Amino acid sequence: MIPTPTPPSQSPAPPWSSWEKWLQSPPGKYVLTWEQKCFGQIVTDVFGFYAVQVGMPQMNALAENRMPLQALLLQSNDSLAQAAQFSWHPIEGNPNELPFASESIDLLVLPHVLEFAADPHQILREAERVLRPEGRLVISGFNPASLWGVRQYLSRLIGSPYLPRDGQFISLIRVKDWLQLLNFTLDRGHFGCYKLPLQGQSGMARMDFLEPMGNRWWPIFGAIFLVSAIKRQQGMRLVGQAQAKRIPTIPQLSPAAERNKLKQTKD
């Protein structure tokens, strides 16, 4: 009996393939539109020379920034065609080992990068290394404390996730803790995308009224969060109590005394 040959196992999909496909869906376009506007409001007043966006060539998060050199870091050449639509300089590299010198970047943007990383804290350590003192770091991610997060959790149980399966939700509280450990000061934050987690374009278009309601009544339960942080330089700290040294006062002389002193000097 001739054994039946075992079919070759299929290679796993690239980690960003399902994410890129999801961004072309109605909820993905909805997220891109909101983040494009929100990133623009944050980066417009950030000044310097070098700005870098890591990943997501479907959106130009640096469009409203006026730095002379804007670069896009990509992990492969697969997305270079998408990057060509914007006027930035594409660079191939790994977010875990950013190909930039220490303290050389003024603005670093991480749109949904931490969620698809095996070691998100390592990426933040690299961000701290390459940013100049007082440099700005902007991060976006999915909010697990939202209706989208609840649907994602429940849909994983039945095998049909609403969001890309390879992405991992990271709470804003955890991101803030990581940033504070790395000597970042939180500057501002935003929540958005309050529409229900539907798939169809018509259904999502009828829920525009939820945006102002969400901003007013349940702002922390938006599907997306953005957080901005500034890298602080650790200053020197004096150990012990400094001893105060009294400066002797200068005696005031009368005009007659000044003339006598001047005469003695000449003699």
pLDDT in tens, 172-231: 999 999 999 999 999 988 999 999 888 888 888 888 888 888 778 888 899 999 999 999
The two beta strands, 131-142 and 69-74, are unpaired
Domains assigned to the chain: 17-231 (3.40.50.150)
φ, ψ (nearest 5 deg) of residue 127:
-60, -40
CB of 197 closer than 8 Å to CB of 151? yes
Residue entry with tokens 């922390």: 220
pLDDT for 21 equals 85
pLDDT for 236 equals 42
- Model pLDDT for residues 52-79, shown as the tens digit of each residue: 999 899 899 999 999 999 999 988 755 6
**234 Ramachandran zone, left/alpha/beta (phi>0; psi -120 to 50):** beta
**Mean pLDDT score across all residues of the chain:** 81
pLDDT for 69 equals 92
CB of 132 closer than 8 Å to CB of 104? yes
Residue 101 above 60 pLDDT? yes
pLDDT winner (highest mean) among 19-33, 103-117, 196-210: 103-117
CA-wise closest residue to 71 among 45, 96, 97, 98:
98
Residue 263 above 60 pLDDT? no
pLDDT for 216 equals 81
